[in-house]
Structure 1
Amino acid sequence: MAAEGRHSLFRQLGNGIAGLAGLMLVALYPFSANATEIQEVTTPAGINAWLVEDHTVPIVAIDFAFQGGSAQDPEGKEGLVNLLSRSLDEGAGDLDSQAFQARMEDLVMQLSFDEGRDAFYGSMRTLTPNATDAFEMLRLAVTEPRFDDEAINRMKTQTISGLRQDLKDPDAIAARRWSELAFPGHPYGRPSKGTEETVSKLAPADLKMMHERLFARGNLKVAVVGDIDAATLIPLLDKVFGALPAAPDLTPVPEVEPKSGIVEAVAFNVPQTSIRFGLPALKRSDPDFIPAFVMNHILGGGSFSSWLYEEVREKRGLAYSVGSYLVPFDHAGLLMGATGTRAEKAGETLKIIDEQLTRMASDGPSEEELAKAKSYLTGSYALRFDTSGKIANQLVGLQLEGFGPDYIENRNATIEAVTLDQVKAVAKRILDGKKPTVVTVGPKGA
């Protein structure tokens, strides 16, 4: 964008709702081809970050993560980390919830937090002229959250409302029950959002405790993308994160292999049956993960081109959508799949899915199918890096997985190097003689 275009953009971006909408549009502006040249920066306080400079548009995006997510919830306090993610922007420092939200609107900034099983995520988007003030708001949220009773009670009410809605959602029921069966007695088997009973008992003191345990410099990963240079960024990062403790206080999470071969039907009065299936697979650090990734694309990850889609949807019309995906948790690896079908067709659908798993284990794909999968996976990779937000998100993910900045440059070559023998071997390793754990949620007797 030319300089005059940037000045025009500044004039268009006022405060309030219109300005926020403008910020969202800028965040979607395509990045230039060289925008993923990564600089590694280290601050005086020891904060390590990856920086991608792109001065095309006046926006700065920061994504960060603290290792340790909902698996850190103490037993009986399930949903604590999720509630923490909902509460950090509900007042911080001298600003109560209303004042904090109003200040963010004045600055035309976006701030969000989320939890995963193994990490706690945060992100901020701001216009370059407002970056200093926006980073200060981020600092307040990360280091001085208030956890006021009124705000926490409101967040608990919203969370419980969502949990009640989930009890009416067959897909949510299937997902929750699958985790319970696959990971009995393990943190991965507990509901990450908690239950109405556990959430209702959470108090501000619980949030303060979890915040102190989880937020530290030693388990922090940071990526910054956009209209900012290293000299400007370094003091801002120390301002936001430098006062955090050096090391977190995380509870060790045991390594676990999910249970396989369990089948459970949950009776639920809906016209369709929701199906969730899964079995042990590979963690991201496993040397066979990339061949497994390619194999799964052919099996069920490639949407319209996958075996499951072809056999379940195209040939028989049993479902609107069906697919599979790899889930590399820090302490377990999964191959998961899901679909929904007419209640009376659930048995037939499961039979077809089982046949495709067996076929992949025994025969594997053809050379042509492998070539098409590799072509798609390498060709589509650039779409993960076409906006500032996407780039920042990808870079934090790579850091959490233990990769260096050169992964982006080498990733496609790694996929291209996958051979048919490797795909067939990993298919046998994961699928041969294995039966998935299956949960169906639908009419009784269907």
Structure 2
Amino acid sequence: MTEKINKISKIKKINVIVCAALSALVLCFAGCSSSPKAEKDAWYEENSKDFSLYTLKNGIPVIFKKTNGGQVFVLRTVFEGGTPLVSREFAGIESLTLEMMFHGSKKFSYEDIQNMQYAVSFSMNHSSGRDYSVAGIKCLQKDLDTVLEVYADSIISPAFLKEDFNQLLLNTEDSIQRTMAEPDGQLAMELEKAAFGNSAYSSPAQVTEESIKNMTLEALKAHHKKLLDAGRIKFVIVANMESEVQQNLVEKLDGLFGQIQPQGYKRPEVPKIAVEGEDIFIKNEQAGTAGYSVGFFDCPERYDEDYVPFALALMFLDDIFFDQVREKAGAVYSVGTGVLGGRQMLGAVSAYKISDLQNIHSLIEKAMLDFPDEKNLSGKLEQYKNKYITTLFESSQSGTGVAANIITSLEYSGKPDTYLKRSAQVQNVTAKQVYETYKKYLAPDTKTKKIRWITVASGM
């Protein structure tokens, strides 16, 4: 876990899948240095000291990141496994289960929780992704005991009331129908099928037209039991707490969550995702005179040595697309790059409100051929590096942002502090590396590389 986001965000629901490039591409802190090596040593070594690791009696790890100052407490519970553990017929069940877990519990009704949230000013939230789901709280430290009791009961003993489930199902069905009626929403769903249909991610994180028919309250209760597996749970905490206070909190967490037992969880394998199949065109009269299209292609994993040069190459491409495809050709309202996926990923180019459907793909691929050579890359590389780091700085300015960085780092590198190294990695990238990465992943070459396009429009 967020940016070339200004260009891509206009694609509404597509942007949920085509992650805003800079946040999805890397995690790092802000700050530049004339000496990358010195920066790496100073920043990483200093900030990695703020991490502490504890373990509950049932084996659940608790990762603390100490902040300096402030009284805001952020806790995130990570449920590892994600969509590879869910069959397509129950796609989205984890999202629905988490939603129901926060709709009242054994001790606290939904109305009680809402009133307490207003009175105490705390929040509980959740999200579901391809490789893991997250639930969490944010509150002031002085209210922590009260909030933790509510949160723990919601996680362990949700009420699962029939009337709440029925209403949630109606709301979800309505949302699906509205999404399918809109061309950009339909594109997002079709892209999901085309890009991941034959991969470990074949089951989407959100409920589909097909899976909603299979959702029952008993199915959600069964899935909840699977989530309560000590082997797939981690706690990440970001707060201004000294070690003694941290240890006291771990004891409280042991009392609240220590009864969760391991169930033999094994992390699912996620093989590399293949880009294969013909381009897809879908007719949708709601598109009017405009079109919507996303092309996906091979890209490196987020901790591969090619990843940061790849991210910088996409930044160059974004400006080339804007200049040539939007401004000069006038073929599209918005065009930009991003990534799809989780542990295994795909690169993506998205075009929103296309006015020249006949030529949009050839215009994009022609623009990709105009990528600067190594010599001409050097002139703007530092500018892009600084933009990269400055944009991402905002994600580390709040406890929730830091927690998201830690979780992504933990899940995809195996260590909670790997994200701290990103800035030095960016600073150390050379023009040669960026150009070689462009040639490897982005340069159009029908013999070895292919962009597969998914397009929604009223006609061609």
TM over 0.5: yes
Q: Are 1:39 and 2:57 an aligned pair?
A: no
Partner of 1:290: 308
Cα contact 2:274–2:298 (8 A) shared by 1: yes
Q: Judging changes above 3 Å, is the alpha-carbon distance between structure 1 residues 130 and 36 closer, same or farther for their aligned structure 2 residues?
A: farther
Match of 2:273 among 242, 247, 257: 257
Q: Give secondary structure in 2 for the equivalent of 1:257.
A: coil
* 1:441 CA displacement: 0.7
Partner of 2:438: 427
Partner of 1:393: 404
Partner of 2:456: 441
Q: Judging changes above 3 Å, is the alpha-carbon distance between structure 1 residues 261 and 324 closer, same or farther for their aligned structure 2 residues?
A: farther
Match of 1:140 among 132, 149, 153: 153
Cα contact 1:178–1:437 (8 A) shared by 2: no
**How high is the TM-score relative to the length of structure 2?**
0.80
Distance in 1 between the 2:98 and 2:107 partners?
20
Q: Are 1:69 and 2:82 an aligned pair?
A: yes
Deviation per CA, 1:221-266: give whole Å up to 9, x if none. Answer: 3322234441343223324432222255468355142324621111
Match of 1:377 among 377, 381, 388: 388
* 1:142 CA displacement: 1.5
Match of 1:194 among 207, 230, 235: 207
Deviation per CA, 1:5-58: give whole Å up to 9, x if none. Answer: xxxxxxxxxxxxxxxxxxxxxxxxxxxx99886221303423333323346333
Unaligned runs of 5+ in 1: 1-32, 301-305
1:253-332 aligned within 5 A: 253-260=269-276, 262-269=278-285, 270-271=287-288, 272-300=290-318, 306-327=319-340, 329-330=342-343, 332=344
Amino acid at match of 2:389: T
Partner of 1:109: 122
Q: Give secondary structure in 2 for the equivalent of 1:85.
A: helix
Cα contact 2:81–2:268 (8 A) shared by 1: no
411-420 vs 279-288, which moves further: 279-288
Distance in 2 between the 1:441 and 1:336 partners?
16
Distance in 1 between the 2:218 and 2:237 partners?
32
Q: Give secondary structure in 2 for the equivalent of 1:62.
A: strand
* 1:364 CA displacement: 9.4
* 1:135 CA displacement: 1.0
Cα contact 2:130–2:204 (8 A) shared by 1: no
Amino acid at match of 2:96: L
Amino acid at match of 1:382: F
Distance in 1 between the 2:376 and 2:84 partners?
36
Amino acid at match of 1:122: A
Q: Are 1:341 and 2:356 an aligned pair?
A: no
401-410 vs 177-186, which moves further: 401-410
Partner of 2:131: 118
* 1:401 CA displacement: 1.6
Distance in 2 between the 1:253 and 1:405 partners?
21
1:205-224 aligned within 5 A: 205-224=218-237
Cα contact 1:89–1:97 (8 A) shared by 2: yes
Distance in 1 between the 2:311 and 2:186 partners?
27
Distance in 2 between the 1:285 and 1:411 partners?
10
Q: Judging changes above 3 Å, is the alpha-carbon distance between structure 1 residues 185 and 409 closer, same or farther for their aligned structure 2 residues?
A: closer
Amino acid at match of 2:459: K
Amino acid at match of 1:117: R
Cα contact 1:68–1:119 (8 A) shared by 2: yes
Cα contact 1:276–1:337 (8 A) shared by 2: yes
Partner of 2:141: 128
Distance in 2 between the 1:181 and 1:197 partners?
16
Deviation per CA, 1:389-416: give whole Å up to 9, x if none. Answer: 2112212221112253543443211111
Q: Judging changes above 3 Å, is the alpha-carbon distance between structure 1 residues 441 and 44 closer, same or farther for their aligned structure 2 residues?
A: closer
1:141-180 aligned within 5 A: 141-180=154-193
Distance in 2 between the 1:36 and 1:312 partners?
44
Q: Judging changes above 3 Å, is the alpha-carbon distance between structure 1 residues 247 and 398 closer, same or farther for their aligned structure 2 residues?
A: farther
Cα contact 2:187–2:292 (8 A) shared by 1: yes
Deviation per CA, 1:322-374: give whole Å up to 9, x if none. Answer: 211133522x320012121344x123322221123344498896112322221
Deviation per CA, 1:155-213: give whole Å up to 9, x if none. Answer: 11111111011111211211221221233343524443222442133112211222222
Paired residues in the alignment total: 407
Q: Give secondary structure in 2 for the equivalent of 1:353.
A: helix
Amino acid at match of 1:402: S
Cα contact 1:110–1:125 (8 A) shared by 2: yes
Q: Are 1:351 and 2:362 an aligned pair?
A: yes
110-119 vs 73-82, which moves further: 73-82
119-128 vs 354-363, which moves further: 354-363
Match of 1:80 among 61, 79, 93: 93
Q: Judging changes above 3 Å, is the alpha-carbon distance between structure 1 residues 43 and 259 closer, same or farther for their aligned structure 2 residues?
A: closer
* 1:96 CA displacement: 3.4
Partner of 1:27: none
Q: Are 1:92 and 2:89 an aligned pair?
A: no
Amino acid at match of 1:252: P
CA-based RMSD: 2.8
Distance in 2 between the 1:362 and 1:441 partners?
34
